[in-house]
Structure 1
Amino acid sequence: MQKAEIHSRKLRFVMSLRKPLSGLVIITCLVALTACQSANKRRQELAYVERPVEQIYNQAATELDKRNYPRAILMFNEVERQHPYSEWARKSMVMTAFASYKAHDYDEAISAAQRYLGLHPGGSEADYAYYLIAVSYFDQIVDIGRDQKTTELALNALRDVTRRFPESPYARDASLKIDMVKDQLAGKEMEIGRWYLRSNQTLAAVNRFRTVVTTYDTTSHTPEALHRLVESYLTLGLRDQALAAGSTLGYNYPQSDWYKMSYRLLTKQGLDPEALTPETRRTLLQRMLPGGK
Structure 2
Amino acid sequence: MDIEKYISSGILELYVYGALSEKENAEVYKALKEYPEIEEEVRAIEKSLLQLSATTAPYNPETVFNSIKNKLSSRDIDVKTIPIHTKRTKWTAYLGWAASIALLVGLFIQFTKNKELRQQVVQSQIEQNVLEGKLNVLESDLSNTKSLLSVLRNKDILQIPLEAQKVDPNAYATVYWDKEKQTAYIDVAGLPTPPPGKVYQVWSLQLNPLTPTSLGILDTFTEDENKIFSLKNANESEAFGITLEPEGGSESPTLEQLYTLGTVAS
Taking structure 1 as the reference length, the TM-score comes to: 0.20
Work out which of the two has the higher radius of gyration on C-alpha atoms and give 1 or 2: 2
More strand by share: 2
Greater per-residue helix proportion? 1
> Which is bigger in relative contact order (C-alpha 8 A, separation at least 6)?
2
